[in-house]
Homo-oligomer: A and B are copies of this chain.
Amino acid sequence: MSETETGNDGIKLVMAIIRPDKLADVKTALAEVGAPSLTVTNVSGRGSQPAKKGQWRGEEYTVDLHQKVKIECVVADIPAGDVVDAIAEAAHTGEKGDGKIFILPVEGAVQVRTGKEGSPAV
C-alpha cells in the first residue's frame, strides 16, 4: 500500500474484516511483520455481494449477513501500509467475501500497566 495512502505519521488503527478461517494466517503474518498486538471480534457482515437464498421446510429465507472476524491492530513505529499489506496477503483467497481493511487516525494511546503514553504505549 502506497505511503500517500497511509499518510504514515503517528499512531494508526488498522481495522480489517476478514474470513474467520483466515484468522490464524493473519495472526502469523502480523507477528512476522512485527505487529503481534491485536484485538479480535466475532462479527457478521455483508459486502456488496448478493444475498444467498436458502430453503428450510419449504420456506425460503435469505442469508445476507455472513460470519466474519474483525481484527484491530494499533501501530506506531511500523508503517500502517506494511501491516495492511501483511493482512491483505494472508487473508486473500480471490473469492467474493475476502473482506476489507481500513486505516483510522489515532490521537492518543496509554498502556494501562505502565502508564506509558503515545507511540511507546502501542
Residues of A whose CB lies within 8 Å of any CB of B are 1-2, 5-7, 11-13, 16-18, 27, 36-48, 64-65, 68, 70, 74, 80-81, 84, 87-88, 91-113, 115, 117-118, 121-122
Contacts and interface: CB of A to CB of B under 8 A. Distances in A.
Contacts of A1: 108, 110, 117
Given A41-B43, A45-B40, A46-B36, A107 B110 contact: no
Query: How often does this chain occur in the complex, in copies?
Result: 3
B41 A37 contact: no
Contacts of A92: 112-113
Nearest to A91: B112
A12 to B, nearest CB: 7
Contacts of A94: 113
Contacts of A64: 27
The 6 closest A-B pairs by CB, nearest first: A103-B108, A98-B112, A98-B113, A5-B108, A39-B45, A101-B110
